[in-house]
Structure formats: C-alpha cells, structure tokens
Structure 1
C-alpha cells in the first residue's frame, strides 16, 4: 500500500471539528447539542450582501482576477482608510478566506525548516498551515493567570535563531479573546526591526473590541512597512463564514507580488462571494454597534455563569467572541468527548473545543477548553448549567 506523506501524518486534527461525529451521533439519539465549539456567529449576515448575490445580472459566472477585483480592493482600501490605515488597492491580495491568506503568506516568506514564533494558545490552523509548509512553530507561552497577556520581550528574543522568519499574532485573539495594547504592538515592532523579521497580524476580529478598548493595527505603526503583513477576512466581521473571502494586506511590494503568484496558481477567488463581500462594505456602522453590544452582553453572561462553578478558572476576553476556561478535570479532550457520547441532561448537552489543540507545546492546555459565545444569552446560561452538572457527574 502506498505511504502517506510525513507532513500528511503530521497534520493535526482540528480541535474544533474532530468531535463532530460524536455530536452527530448524539443528535441522532434525540439529544440537542449546544455548539460552543466553533466561531460561527448566529448574527444575521448584512442584507446588502445577500441582496448582491440574489439581485444581479450575471449571465456568465466567469473567473475573477487572481488578486481580486479592482473595485473590491479599492473599496477595501477605503475601509482601511476609515480605520486610519493608509492602504492602496495594490497593497491587497484577495484570498479564499483568511486561511488561504495565511497559507499564501507563509509560502511567500518561509522555506522548509524556517521558524515562526507564535504566542500560544493560538488558532489551531497556524500549526497545520506551518506543517503543510515545512515550517516549525516556536511557541512562546502566555498564561491564563495573567489573562493571556503578551509574554515578556525577553521570552521572544531568547527564541530567535537564524531560522526565525516571523512573529505571528492574532489580535484580538482566537482562542483567548486577548486584545493587544498599543504598547505591546510597539514592543513587537522593536523586536522585528532589531532582528529583521516579519510581523504577521491576524486581525479578522478587528471590530470586536470591548470595554472602551481600541484595536491597534500593526499597519498603523511607522517604520515597519516592509515587515508588517495583515491577514483579514469577511467571515466574522459580517457573519459571512461561508463566503470564504479574506485578504493579505502589506505595503511590502515583494510580499504582495509573491502572494499574487500563489493566487494565480489557484486561479481566482469565487466571483459570487466577491460580489457579496464588496457589497458588505456598505454595511452601516449601526450594524457593528448592535453586534458589539450583543457580544458584550453574551461575554458578561458567560463569564459570570462560569465563575459560579467551583474549580473553574476563566480569562476575561477583551475582544473577539471566545474565552478559554480551565476545568477541574485532568483531560479536557476526554471530557469533551464524554459529554457528547455518554452524558445529557434532559436530552441536552454541549460541545466545546478542547484547548490542547490550540497549543503546540506538548502537555499544555490539557485541562482547558475554548468556548465560543456565539449563542443567545438564554442558551449560554443553559449551556453553563449543563457544564456544571456534567462536571459533577464526570468527576464522580
């Protein structure tokens, strides 16, 4: 029998999706599953985006430009301008989701054997994308005890080797919801300038900043035009996960021209999704005011309910719509499967994402889970009630 590749065998399973078969089996047995495992918002997609797909005169669904249509990239540049980020259309390559943007970026700046430093826990696919490119993830650990704040500069610098090509952050963070301060971004700026590295920021949750805090993009920093690369997406911003439209943004012309080669190799992003994404940029600001208000209430409800459970520790998110909770269990992977496979309360149970999949350091996060607060407040309260009862029964 022909052998699977080493990198294929090394690719990690998604901690978000690997429990799906157990959830589906529970549903077949009549159990309602509250999905806290995946960042799929229940917020309605802006009508203007849906109407752009429904009401158009396209007769031939042809290829788009590999880097995305001129009109969409120009409107994106205007969007960044509205966020005090001076960007031109030619600084943008449109991709099939933020995931492809990450793949193209890693492919553009690294060779097999190179290293990328990432504060962990981190979005699980950073690990998978790096493995697919033959790149080594070098983690710098942040802790739930200090709300997953950026580790000390010394922690980064002692990890830098001749193979280091970049530092990658997610801001606001998935899975932690941590929002980096302007001072923390400036510290990263000094590191990448000192060591001649790229600074990649996944900013797909830019709009979701809470408690009066302000998101600070790396593209606002002076002096790192050739170092800064932003990954972006419409998925979370407009509740358009299924559109699969993202982008790479950088003022580094070589990065952009190289990324376009990867874009040409996959031909083009999907035409209808481009239409919807372009139209979504006309969404009124009131949409975000309402959405952010809703997420703040959900976050507060979730954290308040979790803190009532004895033995549970939770970090308070400053952005995005996730939190990491530490549970009074030895193995959160086993618990997450058990709660789907062998437990229900009044024919209801919950699905969470074991946090070990968000770490590359072996043994880290074994008693943690990521919870996405993408359900309404009543469902969140019920979900935490189920979690409390399940923990009591599991620990018997």
Structure 2
C-alpha cells in the first residue's frame, strides 16, 4: 500500500477547526452552538467592496499579474502611507490570503531544517506553515501572568543558532490579543540586526487596537529595511475572510524578487477578489471607528463576564479580537469536545478553541482556551454563562 509522506503525517490539525464535526452533530441534535472558536467576524463587509464586484465590466475573468494588479498595489501603497508606512507598489506582492504570504516568506528566506523563533502562544497555522516548509519552530514562551508581553530579549538570544533565519511575531497577536509596544519592536529590531536575521510581522489586525494605544509597524522602524517582512490581509480588516487576499511587503528587493518566483509558480491571485479588495480601500474611516467601538464593547463584556467565573484567569487584550482564558480543567481539548458531545444548558452550548494547539512546546497551554469575541454582546454574555454552567458540572 502506498504510504503518506512524513510531512503529511506531521502536519498538525487545526485546533480551530478540528471540532467542527462535533459542532455539526450537536446542531443536528437540535442544540444551538455559540461559536467562539474562529475569527469569523459578524461585521458586514464594506458596501464599496461588494459594489466593486457587482459593478465591474469584465467580460472575461482573466489571470492578473503574478504580483497582483498594478492599480491595486499602488492603492495598497497609498493605504500604507496613510498609516506612516512608506513603501512602493513594487515592494508589495498580492497573495491568496495572508497564509500564502507566510508560505512565500518561509520559502524565500529559509531552507529545510532552518529555524524560526516565535513567541508562543501563536497563530496555530504557523505550525502548519512551518511543517509544510520543512522549517523548525523554536518557541519562546510568553505567559498569561505577564498578559503575554514580549519575553525578555535575552530569552531570544539564548535560542539563536547558525540555523536561525528569522523571528516571527503577530502584532496585535492571535490568539492573545497582545499589542507590542514601540519599545518592544525596537528591542526585536536590535536583535535581528545584530544577528543578521529577518523579522516577520503578521500585522493583519493593525486596525484593531484599543484603549488609546497606537500600532507600531516594523516598517516604521528606521534601519530595518533589509530585515523586515510584513504579512497582511484584507480578511479581518474589511470582514472579507472569504476573499482570500493578502500581501507580502518588504523593502528588501531580494526578498520580493524571490517571493515573486513563488507567486509565478501559482500563476496569480484571484481576479474578482482583487477587485473587491481594491474597492475596500475606499472604505470610510467611520466604518473602522464603528467597528473598533463595537469590539471594545465586546471585549469589555467578555472579560467582565469571564472574571466572574471562579477559577478562570484571563489576559486582557489590547488588540485583535481574541483572548486566552485559563480554565479550572486539566485538558481543554477534552473539555471542548465534551461541551459539544455531552453538555447543553437550556439546549445551548459553546464551541471554543483549545489553546494547546497554539503552542509548539508539548504539554503547555493544556488548560487554556482561545475565545474569539466575534459575537454581539448579548450572545457573548449568554455564551460565557453557558461556559460557567458547564464548568460547574464538568468532571476531568
């Protein structure tokens, strides 16, 4: 019998999606499931994006350029300029989601068995992208007690070897919601320049920052032009997850030239989705102001309700729309499955993402979950109440 590749065997399951069959079965049994497991906003996509697709005059949906259409990339560069990030359209490659941008970045700067240092917990698919690329993740643990702040820079230095090629951060963070300060970015900039490494920043949640703080991009840091690679996406910014449009941005010409070869190998990013995404760049600021206010209210409601539950510890996020909560259970994988298979409160239950899948260090985060506060406030209150009732009766 033919065998599956070692890479395929080692490819991790998504902690966000692996419980979907159990949720579907719960719904077939008549239960209402509150989905706190996935970052799919219920915010409406901007009208300008939808209208751009409806009103296009294409007769043929043809390939675009491998790096993305020039008009779109020029408008992306203008968007960055408004955010004090000064790049040319030639510094941008449009990709099929931020996921492909990460794969292009990994393929462009790392060979098999090279190493990338990532503060954990981190976006679970970084494990998958690393496995697919034959790259080894070297984790540096951030702690819920410190609100998942950047670990001491000395901890990074201890992990650097001749195989280390990059440090990767998500800012603001998924799954923690932590927002790195300018000072923390500068510490990372100093270490990557000192050791001649790349600094990759997944900045897809740039607009979602709260409490009067501002986002500081790695491409705002002077002297980091050769080291910095930004991963970006329209998915969350414009509530366009299904468009699958992202971009890789770097002022390092060799990185862009190399990533373009990967882009050419997959031909081009989707044409209609680029039209929608180009239209989305005309979204008025009022849209983002309203969305930010909505997420602040949701975050405050979620944290307030979670803190009422005995034995639950929660980190307060300053960005994105996720938080990590520590539960009084031994194994959140078992608990999350039990919620869907065996529990309901007034015929309702919740789906959460076990946090162990957001770590690469074995046996870390076993009693933690990630919650995406992408539901309205009333639904969040009800969902947390269901969680509280479940914890009263759950037996490890």
TMscore range, shorter length? over 0.9
Question: What is the SS of the residue equivalent to 2:232?
Answer: strand
Q: Partner of 2:57 in structure 1?
A: 57
Question: What is the SS of the residue equivalent to 2:392?
Answer: helix
Q: Partner of 2:246 in structure 1?
A: 246
Give how far 1:173 is off. Answer: 0.0
Question: What is the SS of the residue equivalent to 1:158?
Answer: helix
Give how far 1:56 is off. Answer: 1.3
Q: Partner of 1:156 in structure 2?
A: 156
Q: Partner of 2:146 in structure 1?
A: 146
Q: Partner of 2:229 in structure 1?
A: 229
Q: Partner of 1:101 in structure 2?
A: 101
Looking at structure 1, the residues matched to 212 and 321 of structure 2 have their Cα atoms a distance apart, in angstroms, of 16
**Structure 1 unaligned spans of 5+:** none
Looking at structure 2, the residues matched to 174 and 391 of structure 1 have their Cα atoms a distance apart, in angstroms, of 25
Q: Partner of 2:113 in structure 1?
A: 113
Looking at structure 2, the residues matched to 155 and 323 of structure 1 have their Cα atoms a distance apart, in angstroms, of 24
The answer to whether the aligner puts 1:34 opposite 2:49 as a matched pair is no
Give how far 1:395 is off. Answer: 3.3
Q: Partner of 1:300 in structure 2?
A: 300
The two structures have a TM-score, normalised by structure 2, of: 1.00
Question: What is the SS of the residue equivalent to 1:18?
Answer: coil
Q: Partner of 1:343 in structure 2?
A: 343
Q: Partner of 1:362 in structure 2?
A: 362
Q: CA RMSD in A?
A: 0.6
Looking at structure 2, the residues matched to 376 and 156 of structure 1 have their Cα atoms a distance apart, in angstroms, of 39
- Once the two structures are superposed, the pairs formed by residues 1-396 of structure 1 within 5 Å of their partners are 1-395=1-395
Give how far 1:337 is off. Answer: 0.2
Looking at structure 2, the residues matched to 133 and 70 of structure 1 have their Cα atoms a distance apart, in angstroms, of 29
Give how far 1:224 is off. Answer: 1.0
Looking at structure 2, the residues matched to 61 and 228 of structure 1 have their Cα atoms a distance apart, in angstroms, of 34
Question: What is the SS of the residue equivalent to 1:212?
Answer: coil
Give how far 1:189 is off. Answer: 0.4
Question: What is the SS of the residue equivalent to 1:335?
Answer: helix
Give how far 1:30 is off. Answer: 0.6
Q: Deviations over 1:26-67 (max 9, x none)?
A: 000110100000000000000000011111111111001100
Question: What is the SS of the residue equivalent to 2:159?
Answer: coil
Question: What is the SS of the residue equivalent to 1:111?
Answer: coil
Looking at structure 1, the residues matched to 203 and 343 of structure 2 have their Cα atoms a distance apart, in angstroms, of 37
Question: Structure 1 segments of 4 or more deviating over 2 A?
Answer: none
Question: What is the SS of the residue equivalent to 2:325?
Answer: strand
Looking at structure 1, the residues matched to 29 and 259 of structure 2 have their Cα atoms a distance apart, in angstroms, of 47
Looking at structure 1, the residues matched to 39 and 323 of structure 2 have their Cα atoms a distance apart, in angstroms, of 11
Looking at structure 1, the residues matched to 211 and 222 of structure 2 have their Cα atoms a distance apart, in angstroms, of 27
Looking at structure 2, the residues matched to 151 and 385 of structure 1 have their Cα atoms a distance apart, in angstroms, of 33
The two structures have a TM-score, normalised by structure 1, of: 1.00
Looking at structure 1, the residues matched to 175 and 241 of structure 2 have their Cα atoms a distance apart, in angstroms, of 17
Looking at structure 1, the residues matched to 373 and 223 of structure 2 have their Cα atoms a distance apart, in angstroms, of 37
Question: What is the SS of the residue equivalent to 1:378?
Answer: helix
Give how far 1:146 is off. Answer: 0.7
Looking at structure 2, the residues matched to 341 and 256 of structure 1 have their Cα atoms a distance apart, in angstroms, of 48
Looking at structure 2, the residues matched to 75 and 103 of structure 1 have their Cα atoms a distance apart, in angstroms, of 24
Looking at structure 2, the residues matched to 56 and 197 of structure 1 have their Cα atoms a distance apart, in angstroms, of 43
What is the number of equivalent residue pairs in this alignment?
396
